[in-house]
Amino acid sequence: MSYFETTPGADQTYRAEKQHRIEALAGDEAFRRLSNEWRVLALDRKYMNNFSWWSRPVIQLPGDMVAMQEIVLTVKPDLIVECGVAHGGALVMYASLLQLLGKGEVVGVDIEIRPHNRAAIEAHPMAGRISLIEGSSIDLATAARVREKAAGSSVVLVCLDSNHTHQHVLRELELYAPLVTSGSYCVVFDTFIEDMPDDFVWKDRPWGKGNNPKTAVHAFLRQRPEFEIDRSIEDRVVVTSAPDGFLRRK
DSSP 208: B
Kindly list the domain boundaries of the chain, sorted by start residue: 1-45, 49-249
Per-residue model confidence as pLDDT tens digits over 230-244 = 999 999 999 999 999
- Confidence tier at 81 by pLDDT (50, 70, 90): very high
Return the CA Rg of the chain.
19
DSSP β-bridge partners for residue 109? 83, 133
Query: Amino acid identity of 12?
Result: Q
User: CA 230, CA 218: separation in Å to the nearest integer?
Assistant: 13
- What region, left, alpha or beta, does residue 102 occupy, with left being phi > 0 and alpha being psi -120 to 50 degrees? left
- Mean pLDDT, residues 33-59 taken together: 93
Q: Tell which residue, 250, 246, 70, 78, has the closest CA to residue 155.
A: 78
User: CA 83, CA 159: separation in Å to the nearest integer?
Assistant: 6
In this prediction the pTM is 0.88
Q: What is the mean pLDDT of the chain?
A: 92
Per-residue model confidence as pLDDT tens digits over 98-107 = 999 999 999 9
DSSP 187: E
- Confidence tier at 13 by pLDDT (50, 70, 90): confident
Handedness of CA 33, 38, 39, 44 (dihedral sign): positive
Please tell me the CATH superfamily of domain 49-249, with its number. Answer: Vaccinia Virus protein VP39 (3.40.50.150)
- Mean pLDDT, residues 96-124 taken together: 98
Work out the burial of residue 68: count CB atoms within 10 Å of its CB; fewer than 13 is exposed, 13-18 middle, 19 or more buried. buried
